[in-house]
Structure 1
Amino acid sequence: MKSIKCECGHVNPEGTVLCEACGKPIEGNQHIDGNDKKKLLNMRYDGTARRSQTYNKSIIDKIWSFFSSVKVGVWLIVLALIASAIGTIFPQQQYIPIDAISRDPAIYYPETYGILGQIYYQLGLHNLFSSWWYLILIALIGVSLVICSLDRFVPLYKALKIQKAKRHKTFLSRQRLYSESDEVSEKEKEQVIQNLKKQRYKVRIEDGHVLAEKGRFSRWGPYVNHIGLIIILLAALLRSTPMFYTNEYVWVREGEQIVIPGTDREYFIENKGFILDVYDENDERFKDAIQKEGRIIPSNFQTNAVVYKQSDDAVAGSETDLEKVAETEIRMNHPLEFDGYKLYQSGYQLNEFSQMTFEIQEMPEEEGAEVESFGEFTIDLINPQSEYELDNGFTVVIDEYFPDYFLDSNGPNTETQHPRNPTFIFNVYPPDTDKYETSFVGDIIGAADSIGIDTNSVELKPMGEVLGMFATNLDATGENEYQVAIKNMDFHRVSGLSVRKDSTLPIFGFGAFIFMFGVIQGMYWQHRRIWIQPTDKGIRLAAHTNKNWFGVKKDIEKVIENTNVKMVEDQQELDE
């Protein structure tokens, strides 16, 4: 790149506006119009050359120049704000209600929000804040902030570090605040210098030339802001990694001990018992509200939980060598906290099926006729076996198992893997034969709804007595000799717990603190400079500040008080 040599002998890089040594205008600031009105100096970054405006040859230079543009940074932020707003139109996937008809996003969004929900899901907006393109957009904002800061901070730092008290007369005469005074004695000049020191200015003297400066640190306020924003953006990116952020949901049955998701199989939770308290429907205070809702209203629901941690010498995933970490009651707004994790009581499932007992019977010739029983078998709905052999030689094979049955256009399906509406397709092998009969047994919830039984009621005793006759037993061929009937059902309660860990919050807080520190630094202090240059008859006085010109004028009034130094004039009207 070309270098520009000033008349003072200092060599400046191309793109320099004001000589780094003496401040004489080099480029673009030497114009004086026909009316002899002087153009004020461009003091932005003290006239130093910026890389983005100087180098523009290689692809790296072009990328640097692109991201150093404030406009590019603003547009990236605008795009991020628009995308973030779109992401809040409908709830993100992790915020789908626990009691939703289906927590499968492919089903939930179209069912709940219609065609707009379908489009929302198809475009992938249900996971917007963890999508690759959104994270790239956030990263680009960070890149823009870094390059913008370096492109301006480095030259400004160099300029302010090497600034001299001795400046070219043009540099002073074309400052916004300027005056020339005659017949100023050395004593008065010394008085002005002492007054500057009293005003907390740092004074530097060079061959009779004076530079008084204070508040330089305020110039770094915007760059401190950028550092805070970069830290906040970094925290946002780290939030997408499981090491720093966990937000899981887990169902824990009474008496069950399972691994806590998101803890790398290090922690286990045991549900010692689930408690549900409801408002008394006979209480006059709550009677109207309960009748209006048409259902029970919980006053409290809690999980008595114990959290265990694997011992250091245990085999990974082992449940034998566990150490108790915490034991407490998890209630709404009263989470269980341990090692940075929080367990929130977020939902519950009453009367989830735990096991079902079936009976093989002869197919009745007519409705209501007595039937012969050929034995019973019981299925653990959490861990069902593939087949069951009865003592009398019958074998029952589970051909299909739908834990949470529903019927759609594609046929039988399951909403979840939790046994909330267990339905089976059985293959029944009579003794001493390879031929089997197929029976479809289940849709318990559908049968219960048809006779008005609330399967989510606090007490479900009548259900076991009634549902046997309503359970569907479909003979696919119409030639079955045997049927499978529901004999009995056992239930348990399930707690829904949210597992959260957010290690990025301290990083967010630190970034916010740095950002606010930069705001205060740049807002409540100003970088003020006053130059005094000796002349044959007196002195020249000039001043510059990055803001609050009224404040620097008041300072000058105080320092020249009781001297022959003229008050500076504001030359703002001379600027074109």
Structure 2
Amino acid sequence: MSVSNYNNLSIKGKFDLYFRRLISTIADLRLAIILLLVIAIFSITGTIIEQNQPINYYQENYPENPALFGFLTWQVLLNIGLNHVYTTWWYLAILFLFGSSLIACTFRRQLPALKSAKIWSFYHQSRQFNKLAFSAEITTESLNIIESILNKKGYKVFSSDNSIYAQKGIAGRVGPIIVHIGMIIILLGAIWGAFSGFFAQEMIASGNTFMIKNYLEAGKLTNLEKAQSFQVKVNDFWIDYTPEGKVDQFYSDLSVINKQGEEVKRKTIFVNQPLRYKGITFYQTSWSISGVKVQLNNSPIFQLPMAELATENQGRIWGTWIPTKPDLSEGVSLITKDLQGTMFLYNMQGELINAIRPNMPVEVNGVNLKVLQLVGATGLQIKSDPGVPIVYFGFALLMIGVVMSYVSFSQVWALQEGNRFFIGGKTNRAQVAFEKEMYNILEQL
């Protein structure tokens, strides 16, 4: 458009022009590919970098000196939002822009292509066959014979006077539209999940009942009342070990308790086998030792808390201090590395006194000490993502659309000019198979 013509446009005309240019830019296939690559890169980043962890986790694993790749420190990571990639404003903005590109491309390209494919297009001159990928002049008695053969080949045939138009594989034109719809639904599901889901973690000792409270992340539209409508009891927690003494698998026996105190669901969970209830999923992710039950002489059994001790990457150990006098002036330290039962006692000078197992009495500081049981704690990752069913539905449509897109859209024309007959056709894919089909038609003629 020239400058003079542009200046003569009204404000509404200029707005329409800018809008059309914007839609044209958004519908550009190159932009869609770039956005898809950007989404893939950041999605991979969210997989590599652990998400929704405490700040001290990132401080330990992404220190300032030396910085990862020379620039990625925990501060940079938190400022950008790489600790919760999938719910950052910029990631959601990219999803929205990509969805807008798909919608624009669907209305500007795919729907017009489908509409064009459904239009009956007859050839009325023999020279029109010259532009087809396959064409021939044939000898036959009438167009009715050609129409009969095309019908047997699965074509939908339209006739008009001395001309025939036939097509099949219209699903191949619908397929890309279904693909776009499926991808748009997937994006909507991801965005809805980001705004209405939540992520929480709990460390609960065996035998305790809890309500979800430790939310690490929750969307602005999240319905937290649903998560507060029930409690979960950890009936038991145990660990299976390999013959070498390494952890093989850890299990949690969980019960869902409603507000009336009734058990409505029970399941033993382990890694990759979660408990699901009301759209909330409980994953088994970690474990710890929360306490130890002890008895001194004939005293009542009492439970002491245990804490995980820093070992500078030398393995996990837990410890506690057991008083042996009422005034707490003397006591021993109890150390253990797992729930298998072997524990070590140290005096106040840090010297090893004895190695013991549960229910094994030992005399310490003039008292009879008996460690009855180590109390394990289960680490649960709790997640609610209402967008998952939407994503699954969109993915199913995407797969259906991809299969449909592989269907070839073929068109065949036939024309009678006096005593001369012409036939030709074209297809959008599987050219070799289409030519074989056309040669077969010619042989029948």
Could you tell me whether the CA contact under 8 Å between 2:276 and 2:282 is conserved in 1?
yes
Could you tell me whether the CA contact under 8 Å between 2:143 and 2:162 is conserved in 1?
no
Secondary structure in 2 matching 1:560: helix
1:176 aligns to 2:125 (yes or no): no
Q: For 1:469 and 1:191, how far apart are their aligned partners in 2?
A: 103
Match of residue 555, structure 1, among 410, 421, 437: 437
Q: Which residue of 2 is the match for residue 197 of structure 1?
A: 151
Secondary structure in 1 matching 2:62: helix
Could you tell me whether the CA contact under 8 Å between 1:224 and 1:518 is conserved in 2?
yes
Write the deviation string for residues 34-56 of structure 1: whole angstroms up to 9, x where unpaired: xxxxxxxxxxxxxxxxxxxxx99
Write the deviation string for residues 440-467 of structure 1: whole angstroms up to 9, x where unpaired: x9xx9xx96xxxx63655469876x846
Distance apart, 1:421 and its partner CA:
8.7
| Change beyond 3 A, Cα 1:467–1:329 | farther
Could you tell me whether the CA contact under 8 Å between 2:206 and 2:376 is conserved in 1?
yes
Q: For 1:148 and 1:133, how far apart are their aligned partners in 2?
A: 22
Distance apart, 1:301 and its partner CA:
3.9
1:509 aligns to 2:392 (yes or no): yes
Q: Which residue of 1 is the match for residue 252 of structure 2?
A: 303
Write the deviation string for residues 312-350 of structure 1: whole angstroms up to 9, x where unpaired: xxxxxxxxx333212344444554343444433322221
The runs of 5 or more residues in structure 2 that have no matched partner are 2-13, 214-223, 295-301, 311-317, 322-327, 352-368
Could you tell me whether the CA contact under 8 Å between 2:274 and 2:282 is conserved in 1?
yes
Distance apart, 1:271 and its partner CA:
2.7
1:79 aligns to 2:38 (yes or no): yes
Could you tell me whether the CA contact under 8 Å between 2:189 and 2:387 is conserved in 1?
yes
1:324 aligns to 2:256 (yes or no): no
Write the deviation string for residues 385-418 of structure 1: whole angstroms up to 9, x where unpaired: xxxxxxxxxxxxxxxxxx9999xxxxxxxxxxxx
Could you tell me whether the CA contact under 8 Å between 1:351 and 1:456 is conserved in 2?
no
Q: Which residue of 1 is the match for residue 50 of structure 2?
A: 92
Q: For 1:542 and 1:176, how far apart are their aligned partners in 2?
A: 8
Distance apart, 1:132 and its partner CA:
1.3
Q: Which residue of 2 is the match for residue 249 of structure 1?
A: 201
1:345 aligns to 2:284 (yes or no): yes
Q: Which residue of 1 is the match for residue 275 of structure 2?
A: 336
Could you tell me whether the CA contact under 8 Å between 1:353 and 1:420 is conserved in 2?
no
Q: For 1:536 and 1:327, how far apart are their aligned partners in 2?
A: 82
Letter in 2 for 1:303: S
Distance apart, 1:351 and its partner CA:
4.1
| Change beyond 3 A, Cα 1:192–1:327 | closer
Q: Which residue of 2 is the match for residue 476 of structure 1?
A: none
Write the deviation string for residues 120-150 of structure 1: whole angstroms up to 9, x where unpaired: 3443322222211112112211111111111
Could you tell me whether the CA contact under 8 Å between 1:56 and 1:62 is conserved in 2?
no
Letter in 2 for 1:68: A
Q: For 1:231 and 1:505, how far apart are their aligned partners in 2?
A: 11
Q: Which residue of 1 is the match for residue 193 of structure 2?
A: 239
Secondary structure in 2 matching 1:454: strand
Q: For 1:469 and 1:196, how far apart are their aligned partners in 2?
A: 94
Distance apart, 1:168 and its partner CA:
5.5
Q: For 1:542 and 1:225, how far apart are their aligned partners in 2?
A: 31
What is the correspondence of 1:263-278 to structure 2 with a 5 Å cutoff?
263-276=226-239
Q: For 1:467 and 1:507, how far apart are their aligned partners in 2?
A: 60
Distance apart, 1:66 and its partner CA:
0.7
What is the correspondence of 1:137-176 to structure 2 with a 5 Å cutoff?
137-167=94-124, 171-176=128-133
Distance apart, 1:65 and its partner CA:
0.5
What is the correspondence of 1:388-399 to structure 2 with a 5 Å cutoff?
none
The runs of 5 or more residues in structure 1 that have no matched partner are 2-54, 97-101, 280-285, 291-296, 311-320, 356-377, 382-402, 407-418, 423-440, 471-487, 564-576
Write the deviation string for residues 208-258 of structure 1: whole angstroms up to 9, x where unpaired: 211122222222222222222222222322332344xx4422122244322
Greater Rg, structure 1 or structure 2?
Answer: 1
Q: Which residue of 2 is the match for residue 527 of structure 1?
A: 409
Could you tell me whether the CA contact under 8 Å between 1:105 and 1:121 is conserved in 2?
no
| Change beyond 3 A, Cα 1:278–1:541 | closer
Distance apart, 1:276 and its partner CA:
4.6
Write the deviation string for residues 509-559 of structure 1: whole angstroms up to 9, x where unpaired: 332322222222222x32222212222452333312112233333333333
What is the correspondence of 1:117-516 to structure 2 with a 5 Å cutoff?
118=73, 119-167=76-124, 171-180=128-137, 187-243=141-197, 246-261=198-213, 263-276=226-239, 286=243, 289-290=244-245, 297-298=246-247, 301-310=250-259, 321-352=260-291, 454=335, 456=337, 458=339, 466=347, 493-516=376-399
Write the deviation string for residues 176-196 of structure 1: whole angstroms up to 9, x where unpaired: 323345xx56x3433222222
| Change beyond 3 A, Cα 1:233–1:420 | farther
Write the deviation string for residues 465-514 of structure 1: whole angstroms up to 9, x where unpaired: 846999xxxxxxxxxxxxxxxxx999954322222445444433332322
Write the deviation string for residues 255-305 of structure 1: whole angstroms up to 9, x where unpaired: 4322135653112012334345656xxxxxx4xx45xxxxxx345543343
Distance apart, 1:64 and its partner CA:
0.7
Secondary structure in 1 matching 2:443: coil
Distance apart, 1:57 and its partner CA:
4.5
Q: For 1:500 and 1:307, how far apart are their aligned partners in 2?
A: 15
Letter in 2 for 1:252: I
| Change beyond 3 A, Cα 1:541–1:131 | same
Q: For 2:391 and 2:15, how far apart are their aligned partners in 1?
A: 36
Q: For 1:353 and 1:77, how far apart are their aligned partners in 2?
A: 53
CA-atom RMSD, angstroms?
4.2
TM norm structure 1: 0.55
Letter in 2 for 1:547: R
| Change beyond 3 A, Cα 1:300–1:532 | closer
Letter in 2 for 1:327: R
Secondary structure in 1 matching 2:117: helix
Secondary structure in 2 matching 1:239: helix
| Change beyond 3 A, Cα 1:270–1:198 | closer
Letter in 1 for 2:174: W
Secondary structure in 2 matching 1:115: coil
| Change beyond 3 A, Cα 1:110–1:551 | closer
Letter in 1 for 2:429: K
| Change beyond 3 A, Cα 1:152–1:466 | same
Could you tell me whether the CA contact under 8 Å between 2:110 and 2:176 is conserved in 1?
no
Secondary structure in 1 matching 2:195: coil
| Change beyond 3 A, Cα 1:124–1:189 | closer
